Structure 1
């Protein structure tokens, strides 16, 4: 039986941390280790971590951001397989055993699985992420600039030897967060990715009571494009210098184009919506029509919903944008 490490990176999430640690310790895969990285928390997180004694290994560091925490975590991992669990998320008891069966069956660099979306109190929302599966050879499409569908950090398990070829990641001020971007897309350049089509964990969204266009705990729709663009530029540099792989200057990703779409048409006057569609929507529609990961049914449905923004009824237009952008907004319909 090969060993698996579950790494929990935490910063001031003491109110959720114990449940994350408990879910890691409750795995039915006996060869599971738990490592907690505390990135300079100022709440009661460190007392919570210490209460577990020798059941977890811990690193207490000064605050440096998520990228810094990932760098330290990857450097400390001693097992060949690792899962990077956010401290506000949860794993099902059979998560590790499920991914290990896949790892042991083939030479994958990453195994990903769905996460059920829960609210801040842990109540299931009925939604899950991601909604599309990635092909095993998604690295080939990544070399063409297509970011493949992936769950957030907690829905991924990695071969550590591959992860160590990507990390450490530069810790520049503009790059303090989004460490999972480099893990998710960096390792796909090194081998095949497997998808388990079932939920093996839970992704906690703190803003479920506000059903606007922003989904989850990542950057808001107006900040996401710049953050993703910066991360892609850094990944390109790393791929070139460390892996001798040339990635294209720009990338294609529906979530990025969706951010531009939302910023342009949500709660916008009718004339402004038409102006954006007629002059600036080419990349958005390309990310739908040419998307190599989507079915024809999904493409047609998204195009149909997007077209509602061309109607003069602002309420209908805003509904369509919310439905496209935020999976939680779909629960009411």
Structure 2
């Protein structure tokens, strides 16, 4: 039986850490090892880890950020496959078994799966991510600059040999976070991607209700575009130096353009909304119209919703922006 590691990178998440570890230990796939890399936590995380004894391989390091923790974890792996589980997320008991059925059936570099969105208390919201599925040959589209639809970090299982073609990733300077960016997209250059069209875990979203445009946990809306541009530049260098793959200077991604769209038109004046749509929306509209992962129906629906930001009634405009940006805004709310 092939060995699988569930690697949990933790920093000061003692409130959620036990739930993540328990979900990893509860897997019904016998050849599963649980590793926790603690990135210099200063809360009670170490006491929680110590309480598991030899059921968990605990690795302690000085604080260096998420990229540093991924580098350390990947260098320590002895298994053929790994799932990187965020320390505030959970896996369902059959996750590893279902993932390994796909790995056993093809030369996949990565198997990805849906995650149910939870609130900060762990209650299911009725939403899930991602809402689109990529083709197997994501690498071909990535070579043209298209970032493919992927779940957050916890929704991805990797062939370790593919990851080691991308990692280690530079840790210095501002590149402390976003390790999952390099894993998710870089690994598509090393082999094909498979998708499981069901939820195998839960993704916890903090402070992101249905009345906001915020959804991702790691970065503020206004910072995300700049961070993605920096990571793409680093990934280009890695691809060129280690894989002899030449990636384009810029990338195409609706999620990235959506962040710019939201920060520009949400709760903006009527004039500002029209000004942005007329003069600055070219890249945003291109990632809708030319999107190789979307159906015609989804493209038309997104264009119609986007056009609502031009109406003079700001509550309707802001609702449309929230609906586009935040999956929680699309759920049915009891009593409404």
TM range (shorter): over 0.9
1:173 shift after superposition: 2.0
Q: TM-score, normalised by structure 2?
A: 0.98
Q: In the alignment, is the contact (CA less than 8 A) between 1:89 and 1:202 conserved in 2?
A: yes
1:139 is paired with a residue whose SS is helix
* Counterpart position of 2:165: 165
1:75 maps to what in 2? 75
Q: Give the Cα–Cα distance (whole angstroms) in 1 for the partners of residues 115 and 210 of structure 2.
A: 20
TM-superposition CA deviations, 1:109-132 (whole Å, max 9, x none): 000000000011110000000000
What's the CA shift string for 1:174-221, capped at 9, x where partnerless? 100000000000110011000000000000001134631110302121
Contact 1:81 1:158 in 2 (8 A): yes
Task: Give the Cα–Cα distance (whole angstroms) in 2 for the partners of residues 100 and 210 of structure 1.
Answer: 35
Gaps of 5+ in 1: none
Q: Aligned pair count?
A: 333
Superposition pairs for residues 9-88 of structure 1, below 5 Å? 9-88=9-88
Residue 261 of structure 2 aligns with which residue?
261
Q: Is the 8 A contact 2:114 2:151 kept in 1?
A: yes
**Cα distance between partner residues in 2 of 1:198 and 1:264:** 34
SS in 1 for 2:285: helix
The equivalent of 1:127 in structure 2 is 127
Which whole-Å CA distance do the structure 1 matches of 2:309 and 2:263 have between them? 13
For residues 279 and 77 of structure 1, the distance between their equivalents in structure 2, rounded to whole angstroms, comes to 49
1:236 & 1:324 partners in 2: Cα distance?
29
| Deviant stretches of 4+, over 3 Å | none
**Correspondences of 1:1-333 after superposition (within 5 Å):** 1-209=1-209, 211-331=211-331, 332=333
**Cα-Cα RMSD:** 0.9
In 2, are the aligned partners of 1:207 and 1:216 still within 8 Å (CA)?
Answer: no
> How far does the alpha carbon of each residue in 1:218-274 deviate from its partner, in whole angstroms, 9 at most, with x for none?
212101000000000000000001110000000000011111111111111111111
For the 8 Å contact 2:4–2:82, the answer to whether it is kept is yes
Unaligned runs of 5+ in 2: none
